[in-house]
Amino acid sequence: HALASAIAHLFDDSALRDEYASRGLSRVEQHFCWNRCAERLEAYYRERIAQC
């Protein structure tokens, strides 16, 4: 019931929907862009190599 209520609230509140969309996009761009993924993968490999 709580999930349905939250979804209904988002459906009715366009400003809140826009805010969530903006925050979600910012989070994806900051944490999941190709450059960031490559940086994390490189750091992972460097840590593993250093352990050898």
Say whether pTM exceeds 0.85. no
* Confidence at residue 1, expressed as pLDDT on a 0 to 100 scale: 92
Q: What percent of the chain has pLDDT over 70?
A: 100
* Confidence at residue 13, expressed as pLDDT on a 0 to 100 scale: 98
Average pLDDT over residues 36-42: 94
Average pLDDT over residues 32-51: 95
**Could you give the CA distance from residue 3 to residue 20 in angstroms, rounded to a whole number?**
16
**Domains of the chain by residue range:** 2-51
Rg of the chain over all Cα atoms, to the nearest angstrom: 19
pLDDT tens string 8-30: 999 999 999 999 999 999 999 98
**Could you give the CA distance from residue 21 to residue 38 in angstroms, rounded to a whole number?**
25
Please, what is the average pLDDT of the chain?
Answer: 95
